[in-house]
């Protein structure tokens, strides 16, 4: 990974957090202040190369194009003899193959199983190829009204891979439709005996093989010999002193208490349940009851 690009991307997000636009950046193209201008400069470089007689070309892949400045620059490049191949899936406000304007401009649309959103811009001046990847299309809303980012790919391996993807999509004869001078699209049909080329499945195989190769690649630790760490010997703890066996504790004997005498039984007092009759009638009853 490019740490410089990462730092600039972090700076873009920090500016967004405070509602500020990114004006200057060393490696990144940041719209709306520094995105379209860099791409127009690249087109001018290719146009100048074509006017010097060098084999100049451009391959531009995105979703849509409507920016007037870019369309006029493409017409200028076509008139200068620059071959321009565009892969535009959606909105396209420029016509291809118009004599005297865009006769060197070729536009195709790829619509297949997968919905693509890649933006790849390749500029060849006859000597060097510069390839950019970006988040923004060639729509005015992207180039002038939004914050979009792009970056030039410097790694030669990645440049070759991106160029292979572009070439593969330009050779697609399964999902491709080419624009005609009247603005209509005609499906690309393979010539008799020509093999079918499905660029989306080809990209699938390319990415799958790439990841498979990464999985099979030896780990860095096995390539670079590093000293094996020695096991750390655990520190020996000093033996704890032996504990004396617990001795039984003798309880202090209490003097015997004298036994208490049982309490004397309560005397039972028998009383008469009936009160003694003292009246005359009571005496008569007692006389007859005897």
Q: Measure Cα distances from 50 to 36, 47, 125, 187, 242 in Å.
A: 21, 5, 7, 31, 97
pLDDT at 35: 96
pLDDT at 289: 66
Domain boundaries, the chain: 22-217
pLDDT at 235: 53
Helices 68-79/36-51 angle, 10° precision? 10
Q: Is 103 exposed, middle or buried (0-12, 13-18, 19+ CB in 10 A)?
A: middle
pLDDT at 224: 47
pLDDT at 214: 72
pLDDT at 267: 54
The residues that bridge with 187 in the sheet, in sequence order, are 177
Q: Measure Cα distances from 33 to 54, 147, 181, 223 in Å.
A: 31, 9, 34, 46
- Please state the CATH superfamily assignment of the domain spanning residues 22-217 in this structure: Endonuclease Chain A (3.30.870.10)
Q: What are phi and psi of 191, to 5 degrees?
A: -70, 160
120-124, strands of its sheet edge to edge: 28-30, 149-152, 129-134, 120-124, 57-62, 83-88, 105-110, 176-179, 185-187
Written in H, E and C, the secondary structure of 159-193 is HHHHHHHHHHHHCCCCCEEEECCCCCEEECCCCCC
Cβ proximity of 6 and 99 under 8 Å: no
pTM assigned to the model: 0.73
Give the DSSP letter of residue 110.
E
Cβ proximity of 148 and 21 under 8 Å: no
In b/e form, how buried is each residue of 224-254, taking b as 16+ CB within 10 angstroms?
A: eeeeeeeeeeeeeeeeeeeeeeeeeeeeeee
Strands of the chain, DSSP E: 28-30, 57-62, 83-88, 105-110, 120-124, 129-134, 149-152, 176-179, 185-187
Quote the distance between the C-alpha of residue 257 and its chain's center: 90
* β-pairing verdict for 83-88 and 105-110: parallel
Cβ proximity of 239 and 151 under 8 Å: no
Cβ proximity of 125 and 56 under 8 Å: yes
Distance between CA atoms of residues 177 and 96, nearest Å: 13
Per-residue confidence in pLDDT tens, the chain, 290 aa: 789 999 999 999 999 999 999 988 999 999 999 999 999 999 999 999 999 999 999 999 999 999 999 999 999 999 999 999 999 999 999 999 999 999 999 999 999 999 999 999 999 999 999 999 999 999 999 999 999 999 999 999 999 999 999 999 999 999 999 999 999 999 999 999 999 999 999 998 988 887 787 777 655 445 444 455 555 555 555 566 666 655 655 555 556 666 666 566 555 544 454 555 556 666 666 666 65
Distance between CA atoms of residues 109 and 226, nearest Å: 53
**Cis amide linkage into residue 32, ω under 30° from 0:** yes
């Amino acid at each position: 990974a490019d740490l410089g690009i990462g730092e600039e991307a972090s700076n873009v997000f920090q500016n967004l957090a405070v509602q500020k636009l990114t004006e200057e950046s060393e490696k990144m193209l940041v719209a709306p202040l520094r995105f379209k201008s860099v791409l127009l400069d690249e087109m001018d470089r290719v146009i100048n190369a074509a006017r010097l007689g060098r084999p100049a070309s451009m391959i531009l892949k995105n979703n849509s194009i409507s920016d007037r400045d870019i369309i006029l620059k493409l017409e200028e490049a076509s008139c200068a003899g620059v071959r321009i191949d565009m892969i535009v899936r959606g909105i396209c406000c420029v016509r291809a193959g118009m004599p005297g304007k865009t006769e060197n401009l070729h536009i195709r649309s790829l619509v297949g199983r997968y919905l693509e959103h890649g933006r790849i811009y390749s500029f060849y001046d006859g000597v060097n190829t510069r390839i950019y990847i970006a988040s923004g299309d060639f729509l005015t809303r992207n180039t002038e009204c939004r914050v979009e980012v792009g970056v030039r790919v410097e790694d030669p391996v990645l440049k070759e891979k991106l160029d292979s993807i572009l070439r593969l999509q330009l050779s697609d004869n399964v999902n491709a439709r080419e624009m005609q001078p009247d603005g209509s699209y005609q499906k690309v049909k393979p010539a008799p005996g020509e093999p079918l080329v499905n660029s989306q499945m080809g990209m699938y195989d390319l990415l799958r093989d790439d990841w498979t190769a990464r999985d099979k690649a030896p780990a860095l630790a096995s390539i670079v010999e590093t000293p094996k760490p020695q096991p750390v010997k655990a520190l020996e703890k000093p033996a704890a002193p032996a504990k004396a066996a617990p001795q039984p504790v003798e309880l202090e004997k209490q003097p015997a208490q004298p036994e208490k005498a049982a309490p004397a039984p309560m005397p039972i007092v028998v009383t008469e349940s009936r009160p003694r009759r003292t009246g005359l009638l009571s005496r008569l009853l007692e006389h007859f009851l005897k």
